[in-house]
Structure 1
């Protein structure tokens, strides 16, 4: 029915591991649908929550081509093991019933069982979605920075994704994620075609997008109240959205942080990592003591010992507060530039971390913990 190069087939099957499930109770969802659209072929994968549709070139397509589905992981493994530069041909065996396909490449031959293409589900976008166009590098940076703060606690499903919305009076798109212990907010440039509903993009969809976003160009996002669709090169990702209400995160961001310290991000990260070496796995708290433009870091673990470190900061602060060492490290890894600012108000109040060179609205909130 058609011939295609190994590289073309592999690119079409690149998201098999991210979208399909090898042991799905619905057999058709373990398959990839191969169909034709004009002079191109299309590979479609779905798990009913996410659909990936990838266009790929064929060396040739016969006039008797018929759409079919085959086990996605199996086909991906076969194609991956073909010699580099190989060409594969896929044909239908002779006979009335279309129950299998024959894949040949060189002297290799595989017979694979198929399921009817008509049984393969399709995610259809509602009419008139809002079109949001975002530079690829900004979208990649925004969801990458937010992804570490997505909650994995299933009981609060509305936190299991990134809140994608537009603030009133702003031309930017805003991305927010929180797990209740930390919160990340990131703004991006955007062209938005109309009234933009705030939606929650699921964690798994974020992971799929992170794998395929390019370094440059613009990404078109079509958004409705129930679905989001991303057009990324030759791949179209369609995903359900999380059905829930994201909390009023702006109430969590403190507005009265009168103590602002500027620190070298690299030095702070290294010092926190050093003292956290003696901390227990359960209690990762590091005590931060600000005084006389010096920050003293301390960890006490009755089972392992104590650790202290010290570094200078710019600003005026006299305060003692505790933070989770891993959360501090994650935050610093997602703030650009050599210096960061840490805004504080009280020992029991949240703190705000910002890059000294970035938009002040791009921030990370850390909840304190007892150290």
Structure 2
């Protein structure tokens, strides 16, 4: 989605803010840039929408070098949320949110409907709030408006520059939770700058820790907590957080995977019954030719439709079952398995290829061993 290739930034006075940065931000992920003041995190983020231009290297969005793009057009296709919120005081909330779609000459009927939907999405009733002015809202409410303004033209990328740092602790925590919930719904590519490690650990899919213009470590919150790259990262995270992460030292997901019993969607129901019996399972995981997860066919549904010779597994499988990624933690599995209808979680890689399953029994055995120690 966004790719940095050997990107450096040297200012006219000779100061090198970034040193050969190589970074790839995946589509739909929330990446947090974090580090001490002057580490280059904000510079890195502002290069994505060309508020700061790089000295050497290249940055690509969807394979296209951003230096070839008009900066104004580029910025109108990238949402931007800042700490100071930046709402125009003489405009109503609706006018503020609709600003970019209006500049892009989108259909007014469509974008005003979108304004109402976005306000509802963050818990601000349109009938109450859309005709108010920014000064009539609390700081937390204004920041919510700042977030949805960045979403109004449906950009694929959103940049967030310490958006919650000026808020009181309660409002800040609420907005962090709101952002996590929103991201689950909208799946945008979000680059979020913060100096607060607790905030990063709470919201990030991956965290990029920077120091003196270089990337020190980039990984999931779980892996950074368990495997800090060096003393700088350990000190930046803090001993308390590291100790809490070690309090229950679960193995990585791949170490407790059980074999997944899979079938192709064209498999007939009579053959599926044989597979159920042979493997002594009560459901089959349906995958395509590339082993990508499609759904689950339960024994109950297979037996219920068994007499219909025209049906295949594809016709009776359910597609709404939860899956878990390989880079999720086993702590995540403990939560998710309770919501899994079949009593197990299908574990998939980043391409949704099935790698195995985690069962209730696997987790119970793991917990027994952990607490027995």
Q: Please give the range of the TM-score, normalised by the shorter of the 2 chains.
A: under 0.3
> Could you tell me the TM-score, scaled by structure 1's length?
0.23
Which structure's residues are more often strand, by fraction? 1
Work out which structure has the larger RCO, using CA pairs closer than 8 Å and 6 or more positions apart in sequence: 2
TM-score by length of 2: 0.23
